[in-house]
Structure 1
């Protein structure tokens, strides 16, 4: 297995070299970072890995095949695990070039003494700090520039909200949360310290007041500031809540928007099917109904009850308000292969450019994050939308990849779109349910689309 990891590193480094020196030779001289990103995107698509994981592997491969050949040899021989390799590479950052080979050998000698990856990580870090203490300020500045907040979905209606912060500041925040939690317990609050820390943090960030309720209720009510909702099989809605909370004791909250897909039956309590929180996944019907209580706007969506395919959608006069709202629900994320950037923070792109005659309609639009939008606009990656919502990508290396939408579109809508103008609408198959009863012409010929500029 370790030998295979070494071969993968060699292939990834060769791939980066081909992209830089052969496919994009001119760009590589001007912007080597761009050619590295293009090579990593291709590797991510081939290996079916997240882009950042592929970038990390390709960056590691570049170092192993250039400045850390001894570490690569140890991995290939099986004397090192990939965990050991990553520690060697991490601790070698900013080491003077003339001393790098000697420092690498010192680390490998420690790793060879039967150390597990976690044990070796501690020893290698101590060795680094003792040998090159003057580099700590440089490394801290580099690490400080990587500070960020991350959201990672978890199971059972929960998500992890984490932040990479300077160590002293993070410790201070945690200590303050713990002190506040202990104070609540001393005042008689029955919640555990872990629960209280989480609830206090959420209350401080969303502007609410702690009132002793369960953390799940507090978070759900906070999210209900604004909801954008669709319904399956009958009408549902998109929601924009007002800036003031329903409870008079709380201060006004900033307006925000989230998307929730919920059936009308679940909304009104006729069944207990899970709803869908955009960017997360299934949530409990109780949470969805709680979010609905502060809803201010609805967008109607019709879906086939047997297949969950979208048949037709409610429209607003302006394209950004109606079509974009539906496209966010359809796409879910950036439509580039493997990208998980939420559609809410992505950009709408015309698959066939507007300047080349592309229409502003659902079958010629998709969400792309800023980086992948740039890749497509500059022609590095090419996209075609043969069927509504189904994107076929062609990479710089000539490979093709297909991405499917988060929600599928029923074929009947495509056939209706083909019958524009005064042509009679095709007969609907007996197994195709039409609970709302919108006419085909009302769906196929939306006059508000054709007179508006692109939505970006």
Structure 2
């Protein structure tokens, strides 16, 4: 295969960064338009298969499957793709074109990406009522056109849960009945242990594994430092560190590896261990899982059934949210504006902790465009540096992960904070990227005018 050289205007060393970004944006729009065309063509192929199937005189299932199989095989051979997967793609494309036409049109216009299309389709496919689905699609597109795929996905899921005519509690009962654990064998003597669980349990399990892993990593670093001191000062009378086994001091496992080992230890021995039982983590250490659940007040007191939200995942049923709330000692009461959806106040006790609680509730994650690192793992950054007179006030604080905190201070990126926590980021080439608190994005989408059809 002969590859064509890059166009002169792109390959030219004199092309500015701003021009490169503009060309990339144009290229992305063209890719999105091509992906929308592919969806429409696959949908048309599905329609042709349906027309041919309707002409098959036999009622035998295998014979009636042949038109779709044949067409999928022809397309797959031309595109060098598996034909079984191609038949599924034809089916999904038909569902998109018939049920989410506005979403496909937005993809063709370059307003969203194909990942947004999948998120909208996955969340809204279960909404069979045409009017409810149209309201959901309009609200979901309002989010998708403003947010990255990663950020949009949980918001779209919440929108679908709230608009769906069947209560989430009923749908959750049916889904929870499918919970199971299975093993998928892999190569090289490995296998995957997979569990299908309610979301709040799955996220809680992973968080507990992460806490155990961090405790082991911290212990490893501390013991390694003790061993280094003991070796440097062998005659130090206080050098009990010389008795520390080298097994933990030289533990080189990654965090992912430690998570996997802790999972195995907890399931098989009921406690997490270090590589050689050196006491890095005391047996039965009280590490509890942490999940953040947002519960509407009416739902909490039982006066309403609006879905709650497991932050980072999406909607959970009111009954599960109330059960979690009943068992926790940590409460943050969040007051939200009825006109904008922005978090305005959190119960106050001491100023600094209250600011942290409010900002964590408002931001939920790092506020650099597209970043989803949880607020609890972020720094509270002064938008206007404190060294330059910026106040330690809610209107001048936002959560930034360490990576983007450093980016703000060490590069030409700049940020301005507007009312209601809206951040306006400006790139080194002058492009403006607004970042709106997630709940404001969701509120705007839900309050959008209904579609004119």
TM bucket, shorter chain: 0.3 to 0.5
More helix per residue: 2
TM-score (norm 1): 0.41
Highest RCO, 1 vs 2 (Cα 8 Å, sep ≥ 6): 2
TM-score (norm 2): 0.41
